[in-house]
Structure 1
């Protein structure tokens, strides 16, 4: 495999592994904590998960571009909650509730960035030092 192609495949594999870890941590937080901590940790972890999925889909993207795509996606989901559609779908499906949420909450917009920023920074560090 060509070196550059190998790097992209490797980034994709690391991103998928990171997504699985973030998902497991998110489920653990949801199960074993509660209140404001669980709410905002969940929001940040959702942002982290979306970032890892963006990198898995497009491993060539620069870390900060991937962060912008992930943040835009998260914000689109959050602003979509201003309509009645996510709440309606969330009543019917646990998966829809986990992915789409149900109620707009402005502080979540910042929470997504809190979850995405360290992932983008870590991605940048790993790309600089691939050893």
Structure 2
């Protein structure tokens, strides 16, 4: 695998984790939202990941071999989960039903914080991989100068 492919793979990981952190942030921010534009409480968002071959430019293909095994990660879609809402008895709440229950999002803030830490660590790992690739390229240039 060449250095540019390595950078592409890390960059795709950064982009995917950025979307994951955005979805988690939205979940935390809306953990108490009882009314949305669609009606009903906010539904937890989750990012679905997939992989696809690392694309090579035409000039890269002409200059060397195609690495058919190199894969990049992609955030293919953001879905709303099917977790049922939690009913809480709050008869004075403006969104309470006839029995006095309010449908609240089924979001565990502690779980979301753990997911945020995981996404942050993954983001950091991709940055470290990019920095390692950059350092390898710099060392190769140093060797070439000598």
With normalisation by structure 1, the TM-score equals 0.36
Higher relative contact order (CA 8 A, sep 6+): 2
Give the structure with the higher percent strand.
Answer: 2
Report the structure number with the largest CA radius of gyration: 2
Give the structure with the higher percent helix.
Answer: 1
With normalisation by structure 2, the TM-score equals 0.33
